[in-house]
Amino acid sequence: MNKDNLLKEAKRVLLDNFQPEGFTIPCKGLYPFQWKWDSGFIAIGLAHFDIEKAKSEIDSLLKSQWGNGFIPHIVFHNDSDTYFPGPDFHHTYLHPEASKKYKSSGITQPPVIGFVLEELYRLAEDKDDILCFIESRIDSVYKNHHYFYSHRDPFDEGLVYIYHNWESGTDNSPMWDHIWETMDPPDYDFQRKDTTHVDASQRPTKREYDHYINIIEIAKSCNYDDRLIAERSPFLVYDPLFNAMLLKSNESLIKLYGIIGDQYEKVEQLEKWQEKSKKSFNDKLFDHNLNAYIHYDIRNSKPIPLISSSSFTPLFAGIPNKEKAVKLIQTLQERFGGENSYLCASFDPTEERFNPKKYWRGPVWINLNWIIYKGLKRYSFDEMAERLKNETVELIDKEGFKEYFDPRKEVYKNQGHGGYGGNDFSWSAALIIDLLNQ
Ligand code: GLC
């Protein structure tokens, strides 16, 4: 397909997935509600051709914010019975400050909205209009960051925890395997819906789902109180992707408040968070043997010495110094960047547990590629950035707007296919629009 046709198709996917309630579903059937970080990426795509829809995407998410600043990972604006766990599972009314109006989950997802607002500012033609929009929404995002630093940083380190693998966005990553070994959840009786839409071999197992459900049950038993969750959740992790998105969004809020003007206290607070977080991030999450950023398992007090696409996302937030960044790129090149592989596998292809077809255990995801592309550009690794961008476009061009892609080039030979998961996946479409316009 030529560039114009790709753009046209991407736009069609986004418009098809846009809902009358004013937000975009990630994918028909498989993900029929509003997802937090999906909406952020989708808004960037929409901003290229319909800024009003981009604004509406952000607004419909922010509406669900809780009194304490928390923003949920799924908002159930609409009815659908094609997804488990659905609107009646999470019981967020247990938390006194949960939204009374919108049903949602009680877990969150990477905090992308801060930097998405900056992207909207960059893309909008009418700067006065978009600034007016940002001015009236930015405090909600600031409040969300305040929530993270006041509720999710129990050791006052400037790093915030996630308490569920679904909060990471990288649901069934091998990162969590050793945590599942510390748990023994009941064999729950539930009706999964995902495997009716997608081949089960490309999705998490039933036993993995038991663990996922078990953590939510524990959070419910804590009435979603963050302090109790921090004490009781068997899953408590510093995730480099999640924290990098928070830092990148802090940086964007500082810039945007600067443009708006007269917000010295908030800017000062953001700068304090930023400085402390950056230091802890480098001290605690950089592994000098692996030369990469890694996850830290707070519950079991140990680093998780495994590399994934999340390991490279701190580039986007300007976290490494030049020397660390060079080492990080070497790791990317050596482990993920062989000539027979598309960039960037979601898990280290040199590891035994790498699975090129299974969700977050190996396949390429377009949002991670976009984040890493931006990171490479930020540090002027232009050649690698160009390669990443071209390969991302090539995958979509070959397979369509799939959810994830096999990183092995050989599977595409002789009319073979390597696009997996959902079809017409919104962020694959949204971010291709952005990449093609870089
Ligand atoms: C999957 C992904 C998650 C995404 C959601 C909706 O659960 O792992 O990152 O937000 O789908 O697309």
Give φ, ψ of 34 to 5 degrees: -95, 125
Quick check: 249 pLDDT over 90? yes
Q: Whose CA is nearest to atom 2 of ligand 1?
A: 169
Active-site residue, selected from the candidate residues 50, 59, 171, 208: 171
What is the per-residue pLDDT across 96-142, written as a single tens digit (0 to 9) for each? 999 999 999 999 999 999 999 999 999 999 999 999 999 999 999 99
Helical packing angle, 426-436 and 382-399, nearest 10°: 130
Cβ–ligand 1 distance for 167 under 6 Å, the answer: no
CB 387 within 8 A of CB 365: no
Task: Give the pLDDT confidence of 12-23 residue by residue, as tens digits.
Answer: 999 999 999 999
Residue closest via CA to ligand 1's atom 12 equals 26
Q: Is 335 left (phi over 0), alpha (psi -120 to 50) or beta?
A: alpha
Distance 425 CA to ligand 1 centre (A): 10
- Residues 322 and 201: their CA atoms lie apart, in Å, by 40
How much distance in Å is there from the Cα of 169 to the middle of ligand 1?
6
C-alpha 262 to ligand 1 mean position (Å)? 38
pLDDT tens-digit series, residues 258-297? 999 999 999 999 999 999 999 999 999 999 999 999 999 9
Quick check: is 391 catalytic? Answer: no
Q: Which residue in 38, 119, 391, 403 is the catalytic one?
A: 403
Of all protein residues, whose CA lies closest to atom 11 belonging to ligand 1? Answer: 31
> How confident is residue 1, by pLDDT bands cut at 50, 70 and 90?
confident
pTM of the model: 0.98
| 206 CA from centroid of ligand 1 (Å) | 17
Q: Whose CA is closest to atom 3 on ligand 1?
A: 169
Is 171 noted as a catalytic residue in this protein? Answer: yes
Q: What three-state secondary structure class fits 84?
A: coil
